[in-house]
Amino acid sequence: MNLFDGKRPLYQKLAERLSNDIQQGVYAVGSLLPTEAEFCAQFNVSRQTVREAIRQLTEIGLVSRHQGVGTRVERSRLEEGYVQRLGHLPDLFQYVKDTQRKVLRTADVVASKAKVPLPGDPKLKWRVIEGLRFRENEQKPIAWTEIYVHPAYATVTGAKDRDRYPIYSLIERRYGIKAQTVQQEIAGVAIEPAVAGLLRVPAGSVGLSVQRQYVSTNDEIFEVTLSIHPADRYRYRMQLELDYSPGRGVPRGESDLG
């Protein structure tokens, strides 16, 4: 492969070269890739080009980066479907960037009739956007979604750039409401017939339900979302870092096995 044919960004061509090498066994699963400096010398490219190529390999799940260790080969074939990685709130921007939303409807829904628990007055009407998420140039949706927005901030659902940015970020910009935390619940579900039809899967198929509550610095839940993903089109990955600082004690985890 000629890295210097000039038709595509250099980092993309390098990422493709390294991806092919991994899939052909040049770099074995579990082994570490050469260092950035070694790749720079081998391909006569800049360190930034190498870093961006490795980032692309990380995004598709072929490798993982470990500070102080290096870049490890995780698998020798490309993952199918969409892999969402969430370590920090801004990572949600990447999900919006990587996918496209097709809005099915926008309506006002009484809180008691919503498909997810909404805080406050059960008679309060929240604005809901129902839609489907697609990866670029793919026909099958990777998710059915409903986004519930508190009525105090509902006007953002009509913004021209609504589908280019996460709704929570539009609320931040327009109203000065700062999102501090996201409370998330993930569960396996049987996809109900109406949603299954939209996702083009059989009714009762196994899916992944992701519910998120966006909490402001004023401890107000201003947005709640529900996403249903077909099991074979979506994977969720996050990194947990243990805090061993003085006074924190032994790290503990909590799980709900239902």
Give the start-to-end residue ranges of the domains of the chain.
10-73, 82-237
What's the CATH class of domain 10-73? Answer: mainly alpha
Give pLDDT tens digits along the chain (258 positions): 556 555 668 888 898 899 889 988 999 999 999 999 999 999 999 999 999 999 888 877 788 988 888 999 988 876 555 445 455 555 555 666 678 889 999 999 999 999 999 999 999 999 999 999 998 778 889 999 999 999 999 999 998 888 888 898 899 999 998 888 889 898 999 999 999 999 999 999 889 999 999 999 999 999 999 999 998 877 666 665 555 555 554 444 443 433
- Within this chain, domains 10-73 and 82-237 share the same CATH topology: no
Burial 19-49 (b: 16+ CB within 10 A, else e): beebeeeebeeeeebeebeebbeebebeeeb
pLDDT at 67: 84
Stretch (H or E) spanning 65: strand 63-66
- Spell out the residues 6+ positions from residue 50 whose beta carbon is closer than 8 angstroms to its own: 11, 14, 36, 39, 40, 43
Q: Are 168 and 188 in contact (CB under 8 A)?
A: no
Which H or E run includes 206? strand 206-216
Strand partners, 102: 132
Q: What is the pLDDT of residue 250?
A: 46
CB distance 154 to 123 below 8 Å: no
The contacts found for 45-53 with CB under 8 angstroms, 24 or more apart, are 45/3, 45/10, 45/14, 48/11, 49/10, 49/11, 49/14, 50/11, 50/14, 52/11, 52/15, 53/11, 53/12, 53/14, 53/15, 53/18
What's the CATH class of domain 82-237? alpha beta
Distance CA 225, CA 242 (A): 28
CB-CB contact of 22 with 73 (8 Å): yes
Tokens of 62: 């072929």
Q: pLDDT value at position 231?
A: 85
